[in-house]
Structure 1
Amino acid sequence: MFPTLPFLAPRRFSALLACALPALAGAQGRADVPDTLAQRAAACIACHAPKDGAGASVGGVYFPRIAGKPAGYLYNQLVNFRDGRRQYPVMTWMVTHLPDPYLREIADYFSARHPPAPAPAAPDVPAAVLARGRQLVRDGDPALKVPACIACHGERLAGVAPAIPGLLNLPRDYVNAQFGAWRNKVRRAHAPDCMATIAGRLAPGDVAAISSWLAAQPSPPDARPAERLTAALPMPCGSAP
């Protein structure tokens, strides 16, 4: 069984909301709080970048780094949470009533930020697992009809504008959970949903190999999403036409 991001019990949900909204709660009734997008984004930063923009563990749940991701990708994910193609209660609660222009502003705000990435943790899996992960990321597996990750996400794995995300600086458990969500149809994208297809072709051990190898890779200090793909996508993908 592939893992997915868990639905939260009421007590856990309340705890995460308390974590995500401290800046907004403290701002109520204060005239000295500026009405800026940066201030409004404080609720996002509480989980996704509490110190360095890298993403962090809050209560045992891992959140992805969103700073520097292509704006089109971030916007698509906000819309997906709002419209039910992705399922995560905190995110759904925060964006349910936000209109498209506001979501684009949020996406543009975080896309333009490139804080330093932390050093990756030392891998704690066998060398053979890392080798398999590198193979899938760099070369794919023709026998499984799985293209290389770099064929879509860029040679440097930093993503491709406007809508393909980078894959570095993501917690291993988060990557595992996303593959599980695609496999279990908890996460969806516009058809044809290329990642759901790929997730269905990978065994759990292959997913673990990919996530372990990616989590062990350092991010170049000048990593930025590529402006364009150097070749056509290896398979149709509705979220990145």
Structure 2
Amino acid sequence: MNKLLVAVIAVLGFINVAQAQGDIEAGKTKSTTCVACHGADGNSPSNLYPKIAGQHASYLVKQLQEFKSGDREDPIMAGMVAGLSEQDMEDLSAYFASQTMTPETVSPEVAEAAKKFYMGGDLDRGIPGCTACHGPRGNGLELAKFPKISGQHPAYLKSQLEKFRSNLRHNAPNGMMKDISAKLSDTDIELLSEYISALH
């Protein structure tokens, strides 16, 4: 009986995932309003705005939903998502997830200074390694909605870590990014942002 129940739950879960998937071509058509900030393919030409090309679709959907609900605050995005349906969000996310993020580079000195911290954290200060959620290459984890952070603009990574630290951004699961970033110094954030951006 238990095996049958597990099988039914698994099938229902698969159906729900399948129904929730977006349409890439529909998303491309709908993406015209996103171009000004994020670029035609999701590679933002300005470091004020994130690159969303190649980001996990589930993470993008989550952010759009939270911009709309107000759980993540941004006056520009609040206006952009106000008229989006759930299907619009799925389609847009599918399109941008299908694109390829452009790479960033970092100096060997910064890479050497930040690698150990990114990989293993700082036990003395109670800071876990970033790899626990984002992986050794910064690719994140789709099912857990942990974002891909490699290839992102360093300035954008820095601004988001600072927002988590000051609680201006508070939409991470269980407040974990606020707890971690609260222990980061300005130097930590600068180094991590530059290092993470160039992970491949």
**TM-score of the two chains, using structure 2 as the length reference:** 0.77
| Counterpart among 95, 114, 128 of residue 133 in structure 1 | 114
Q: Which amino acid aligns with 1:49?
A: G
**Cα–Cα, structure 1 residues 165 and 116, in superposed 2: closer, same or farther, change >3 Å?**
closer
1:70-219 matches, within 5 Å, as 70-111=56-97, 113-115=98-100, 117-118=102-103, 120-123=104-107, 127=109, 129-162=110-143, 163-189=145-171, 191-215=173-197, 217=198, 219=200
Does the residue aligned with 1:87 lie in a helix, a strand or coil? coil
Does the residue aligned with 1:98 lie in a helix, a strand or coil? coil
Q: Which amino acid aligns with 1:55?
A: S
CA distance in structure 1 between the partners assigned to 2:159 and 2:82 by the alignment: 23
CA distance in structure 1 between the partners assigned to 2:120 and 2:39 by the alignment: 32
Deviation at 1:76, TM superposition (A): 1.0
Decide whether the 8 Å contact of 1:133 with 1:211 is kept in 2.
no
CA distance in structure 1 between the partners assigned to 2:190 and 2:65 by the alignment: 28
Deviation at 1:156, TM superposition (A): 2.1
| Number of residue pairs the alignment of both structures matches | 175
Segments of 4+ moved more than 3 angstroms: 129-132
Q: Which amino acid aligns with 2:174?
A: P
Does the residue aligned with 1:208 lie in a helix, a strand or coil? helix
Decide whether the 8 Å contact of 2:138 with 2:199 is kept in 1.
no
Decide whether the 8 Å contact of 1:47 with 1:55 is kept in 2.
yes
Deviations 1:59-88 (A, max 9, x none): xx5221112211111111111211222222
**Cα–Cα, structure 1 residues 40 and 191, in superposed 2: closer, same or farther, change >3 Å?**
closer
Residue identity (%): 28
Q: What residue in structure 2 maps to residue 32 of structure 1? A: none
Deviations 1:76-123 (A, max 9, x none): 111121122222221111002323332222222222x132624x2454
The two structures, once aligned, show a CA RMSD in angstroms of 2.3
Q: Which amino acid aligns with 1:54?
A: N
Does the residue aligned with 1:133 lie in a helix, a strand or coil? helix
Decide whether the 8 Å contact of 1:81 with 1:88 is kept in 2.
yes
Q: Which amino acid aligns with 2:115?
A: R
Decide whether the 8 Å contact of 1:87 with 1:187 is kept in 2.
yes
**Cα–Cα, structure 1 residues 165 and 55, in superposed 2: closer, same or farther, change >3 Å?**
same
Instruction: Give the structure with the higher percent helix.
Output: 2
CA distance in structure 1 between the partners assigned to 2:199 and 2:183 by the alignment: 27
CA distance in structure 2 between the partners assigned to 1:54 and 1:98 by the alignment: 21
Decide whether the 8 Å contact of 1:137 with 1:148 is kept in 2.
yes
CA distance in structure 2 between the partners assigned to 1:116 and 1:166 by the alignment: 10
Q: What residue in structure 1 maps to residue 7 of structure 2? A: none
CA distance in structure 2 between the partners assigned to 1:71 and 1:36 by the alignment: 14
Does the residue aligned with 2:55 lie in a helix, a strand or coil? coil
Are 1:69 and 2:55 counterparts?
A: yes
Q: Which amino acid aligns with 1:67?
A: A
CA distance in structure 1 between the partners assigned to 2:195 and 2:130 by the alignment: 12
Q: Which amino acid aligns with 2:164?
A: W
Deviations 1:10-33 (A, max 9, x none): xxxxxxxxxxxxxxxxxxxxxxxx
Q: What residue in structure 2 maps to residue 45 of structure 1? A: 35
User: Which segments of 5 or more consecutive residues in structure 2 lack a partner in the other structure?
Assistant: 1-24
**TM-score of the two chains, using structure 1 as the length reference:** 0.65
CA distance in structure 2 between the partners assigned to 1:175 and 1:116 by the alignment: 15
